[in-house]
Homo-oligomer: A and B are copies of this chain.
Amino acid sequence: MSSVITPERLRSLFRPRSVALVGASNKSPFSNTAYRNLVEFDFTDRTFLVNRRGVETHGRPTVTSCAEIGQPVDVAFMMVPQAGTLDALTDAAAAGIRNAVILSSGYGEAGEAGRAAQAELVAHAESLDMVLLGPNHLGFANLVDHAPVTPILGLPHEAGSVALLSQSGASSKAMVEFATLSGADLSYMVTLGNEAMITAGHVLDFLVEDEHTKAIAIFMETIREPEVFRTAARRAAAAGKPIVVLKAGSSELSARTAAAHTGALVGDDRTIDAIFRDLGIIRVDSIEDMLITAGTAARLGRLEHSGIGVVSISGGACDILADRAEDLGARFPEFAPGTQEKLAEIMPEYGTVQNPLDVTGAAIIDPTIFTRSIEAVSADPEIGVVAVVNTLPWEREGDGKFSGQAFANAIGAGIQRASGPVVYVNQVLEPITDYTKEVMAEADVPHAIPGLRQAVVALRNLAWWSEATRDAGRGPSAEPRAVRVPESSERRGNWSEASARQLLIDAGIPVVPGTLVGSAEQAVAAAAELAGPVALKIVSPDILHKSDIGGVRLGVAGDEAVAAAYTEVVGSASRVPGAGVEGVLVSPMRSGGTELLIGVARDPQWGPILAVALGGIFVEVLGDSALSPLPVSPAQARELIESLRAAALLRGVRGTRPADLDALAEVVARIGDLALALGGDLESLEVNPLRVDGSTVEALDAVVTWTGKED
């Protein structure tokens, strides 16, 4: 189905030359407000009203069927009730209309009957070679071409370069309003509804090619057709178009709520985080941050450096920004010596040259301090963007001019003279109204962010995205290495530890030595070879929890003890009736070092996900783990390891030997490569523990499970 939903096809939907309002009716609030929009945007000359009874509607004559229109129409905007939808589609298709926007609800979101109705709807559309947006949504608005195909009122008349996609119809109006008030002017607003055919990924794909759109904001509760979404997101990154997502469903509570009202599955939220990080998608946690980040990204584009420089008239604002930068992970680097020298000449003697820079009250007397400071800071080699804090008015004060116009002008002059991007930051989250825009235009200030916290979030997000996607489009960030894997026919059933060990060894993953023995004598001989205390473990594909049944003996020393331990361990198998026993594994005991858990599990939506954690209390009590989709390069594996809260333990605290993180990362990446090479047959692969001690890295145990049953 996806193959027909190409960007070219969607262009005819989202940039329609003409629209048929099917089911137009004076009695329908939806029809009324949708038509009101078409009037407001001067689209009525390209709008045809279809009314079954052919009565005059919205003060205009109507036709009773699309076929009567007699002109090419790009979109059938359907207001008909669910019961009439299939017939209406047939009618539209007969008139050559290939796209439909279906508002009505009662489909996938409405239980089993609804899901059946939706399947029928899609099958019908496919049979007619039609493409559907919706159902159960509120249409879309193309603000670039002034084509509003939506009953949502209050659309802005000025187009911008942020596309807004939303799975929530009910919140879209508020989002559109906030976009306008925060300076995130929109190119398109698309409500997605049930995504029966067109999903967020398809719309993304269209927007990547749309010249008017520079950044994309998405509110979503579930990601349908993950591979379409993933591919489109990679194309967006390569095209330099940031995607900013407010993905609801991070809490158990909202997972429950979402299930209640959309019927969609909400994936594990930490997996979503990992996938988004991998794709360079910016994740936010409020509507405000979504739109302000997207608006800022659309205006500023990719930052060349990740450092943020701050120039402010308020010392208090400097402090608030510095605090939030620390909390939220924005980087305010110290200024380079050259910058400091320049600023020292600009600033009054009592001022302090640092980042954030408080220009002090001296800038009230001499506003050019703003101009010159901005210029100096923007030229700093580590600064990718300068945030200039001042106030902006949202409404006219009395009859006079804005009392701060001189400062705004000085800042505007600095923006013109700056070597890199500069953004004006208002101290509080006030609206950017038409009056604000007048003040900005007079000052030659193209863009502003309202609010200090919002500025830190938006600029941190943009700096992160700029780094994360800088090399996007130059091929995959990690390429899995070839590893030797067993024949597909063997990848099923349960595997014993010995088989799992061999799988790792074949893939070039270091494993603690071990000898599979079949008698007490062989055990004694194997232990003698290892010189030192040994571990004995039962080896059986049917026994996964060896310790629980007494199938493991640790720290065994001396021939007699080894022989006795062998007997005990073999005997333990009798506690699992019918278990086949391959033998007993004799391995040297290891002590010291740090133990990790490296696992790969298959996410139903996103495929294999690698999990890295420190063993024991860290993962069990603190839940301290890091996730990533595969493949991961050794460098990415190292980043994952270093992102753990307990990573300091690997760097050697309390007298322990620092772990060789490169050697460790190499092994972790290779475990990922192995899991990837095993493909869909693999259910999960867990190396636990993977022990690291200085530059020694070895797997002490492993469990592999397959999706397929044994023949």
Interface of A toward B, CB cutoff 8 Å: 33, 105, 110-111, 153-154, 166-168, 170-171, 173-175, 177-178, 181, 219, 221, 246, 248-254, 256-258, 260-262, 285-288, 313-327, 332, 350, 352, 354, 356, 358, 360-361, 391, 394, 397, 403, 426-431, 451-453, 616-617, 620-622, 645-646, 648-649, 653-654
Contact = CB atoms under 8 A, between A and B. Distances in A.
Contacts of A166: 316
A178 B287 contact: no
Given A251-B327, A261-B360, A316-B166, A174 B428 contact: yes
Contacts of A653: 617, 620-621
Copy total for this chain: 2
A621 B603 CA distance: 32
Nearest to A315: B261
Contacts of A105: 361
A249 B428 contact: no
Nearest to A453: B286
Contact of A322 (B253, B288, B325, B358): B253
A316 B251 contact: no
A428 B325 CA distance: 23
Contacts of A317: 168, 170-171
A314 B287 CA distance: 13
B617 A285 contact: no
B170 A315 contact: yes
Contacts of A170: 313-317, 361
Contact of A171 (B175, B258, B332, B427): B427
Contacts of A246: 320
Given A174-B391, A260-B352, 14 more contacts: A170-B316, A221-B316, A248-B323, A251-B326, A253-B326, A257-B319, A260-B315, A260-B358, A286-B452, A287-B428, A287-B451, A288-B429, A616-B654, A621-B646
A486 to B, nearest CB: 35
A177 B287 contact: no
A477 B366 CA distance: 54
Contact of A254 (B251, B318, B428, B648): B318
Contacts of A287: 320, 427-428, 451-452
Contact of A323 (B251, B394, B452): B251
12 contacts: A168-B317, A170-B361, A174-B391, A174-B427, A175-B428, A178-B428, A248-B319, A248-B323, A249-B323, A262-B315, A286-B320, A431-B431
Interface centre among A110, A249, A429 (most CB of B within 10 A): A429
Contact of A453 (B177, B261, B285, B397): B285
Contacts of A177: 391, 394, 428, 430
A617 B618 CA distance: 11
Contacts of A313: 170
Nearest to A647: B621
Contact of A256 (B248, B354, B360): B354
